[in-house]
Amino acid sequence: PFTLSQRALSLKPSATVAVTSRALELRRAGVDVISMSVGEPDFDTPEHIKAAAIHAIRSGQTKYTPVSGIPELREAISDKFRRENGLDYAPDAVTVTSGGKQALFNAFFALLNPGDEVLIPAPYWVSYPEIVALTGAVPVPVQTSPDSGFLLDPEALEACVTSRTRMIVLNSPGNPTGAVFPPEVLQAVARIAQRHNLIIVSDEMYEHLVYDAEQVSIGRYAPEHTLTVNGASKAYAMTGWRIGYAGGPKTVIAAMNALQSQSTSNASSVSQAAALAALVEHELTRKFVDGALLAYRQRRDVIVAGLIDLGLQTPTPQGAFYVMANTTSIHADELEAARIILDQARVAVVPGTDFSAPGQVRLSYATSLENIHEVLRRLRTLTRP
Ligand code: PLP
């Protein structure tokens, strides 16, 4: 009896859902599928962060907070931006959201009008074009290639600028590519934003997960043109706590707050207390991050070497915890390749279809070395019958 809204109907059904549901089906049937598809740390949230949340519950920090977050947390985020990123955002130029995703959602709705164009380096995280399209704006992919390690070419980016271009979305270190854009590229992108009066939304969710590269915040080069988005999920193994945040021009932050005041009101008070501990007790947190980084690096080295040894072309990711493997030797179509890998090797991977990565699949190495070795063993039976 009800028809759904045009917005709801416009959401693209994910091509990866088919593979995910098949993996669940196999699991339910008792098949031991190893999942290399999840985008979250396999570590538990550090103890000092959990303790702060428990204390918050016991001491009654269980009520609404200001829309933009508790003042102590905004101050801690402002300090963090200065200390770790060299960015100067006053506490009232900072807002706290329910996950990094809501920061992006609020930002896109605060900044985009129908018909505006948004440049998104591809392969991209699938939520960027989907949220952009929900606003009525038009996502414009700027393709990068595995041959260059998915490095963004600023000239190719600028060639996509039209009179309708309004925004550039950057994600470095990137999901799904693991690419980390070097300072020269970021400087060039900053100059493009200044030349054409564009806003850069810089998603730095994976900033701590860098291996052989240097992570630089583009906001240092074009502060007036940058909104920096970050959060607790990936860095501190806090995906379930739902804490994201953003810093940027005050008018943009104010508009994001106005939107949030009519949707979620504020991020969970208990989770804000936890995030506050993560940022204030940053030396303890740093120890956790360094330990995790060491583990991820080891896993990355094993999985990249293993995939290359199997004859699957795989650029070495410089950051995050994903690797992109070329699966055209298994099947020309990556969706089919992912199905074969699932059915015959019992490994769940994400086909690149939805990220604009044809011929490739994404594997997440946020899992134990033991699992990674087993995955490689299973893939070997597939590629070398
Ligand atoms: N940005 C990127 C690139 C991501 O990969 C993710 C999560 O997968 C997010 C943002 C969202 O993070 P959160 O879980 O804090 O909403």
pLDDT tens for residues 228-271? 999 999 999 999 999 999 999 999 999 999 999 999 999 999 99
* b/e sequence 35-47, b meaning 16+ C-beta within 10 Å: bbbebebbeebbe
* b/e sequence 331-352, b meaning 16+ C-beta within 10 Å: eeebbebbbebbeebbbbbbbb
**Closest residue (by CA) to atom 8 of ligand 1?**
39
CATH second-level architecture of 6-44+285-383? Answer: Alpha-Beta Complex (3.90)
CB of residue 101 inside a 6 A radius of ligand 1:
yes
CB of residue 177 inside a 6 A radius of ligand 1:
no
Average pLDDT over residues 323-337: 95
**Closest residue (by CA) to atom 7 of ligand 1?**
39
Instruction: Give the C-alpha separation, 94 to 109, whole Å.
Output: 17
Instruction: Give the C-alpha separation, 341 to 331, whole Å.
Output: 10
* CB neighbourhood size of 120 (10 A): 23
Q: 32: buried, middle or exposed (CB in 10 Å: 19+, 13-18, 0-12)?
A: exposed
What is the Å distance from ligand 1's center to 381 Cα?
33
* 2 confidence band (pLDDT: 50, 70, 90): confident
Question: What pLDDT is attached to residue 31?
Answer: 93
Domain boundaries, the chain: 6-44+285-383, 63-281
Residue of 363, 318, 315, 317 whose CA lies nearest to 337: 363
Instruction: Give the C-alpha separation, 214 to 183, whole Å.
Output: 8
CB of residue 123 inside a 6 A radius of ligand 1:
no
**Closest residue (by CA) to atom 3 of ligand 1?**
175
Query: Are the C-beta atoms of residues 241 and 56 closer than 8 Å to each other?
Result: no
Query: Are the C-beta atoms of residues 149 and 316 closer than 8 Å to each other?
Result: yes
Across the chain, mean pLDDT equals 95
What is the Å distance from ligand 1's center to 124 Cα?
12
Residues 298-322 have pLDDT tens digits of 999 999 999 999 999 999 999 999 9
Tell which one of 233, 241, 355 to mutate to probe ligand 1, the residue whose CB is within 8 A of the most ligand atoms: 233
- Is the confidence at residue 17, as pLDDT, over 80? no
Helix (H) or strand (E) holding 34: strand 34-35
What ipTM is given for this predicted complex? Answer: 0.99
CB of residue 100 inside a 6 A radius of ligand 1:
yes
What is the Å distance from ligand 1's center to 101 Cα?
6
Average pLDDT over residues 50-54: 98
What is the Å distance from ligand 1's center to 88 Cα?
23
What is the Å distance from ligand 1's center to 209 Cα?
13
What is the Å distance from ligand 1's center to 322 Cα?
13
What is the Å distance from ligand 1's center to 205 Cα?
6
Question: Looking at the domain 63-281, which fold is it?
Answer: Aspartate Aminotransferase; domain 2 (3.40.640)
**Region for residue 197 given its phi and psi (left: phi exceeds 0; alpha: psi -120 to 50; beta: otherwise):** left
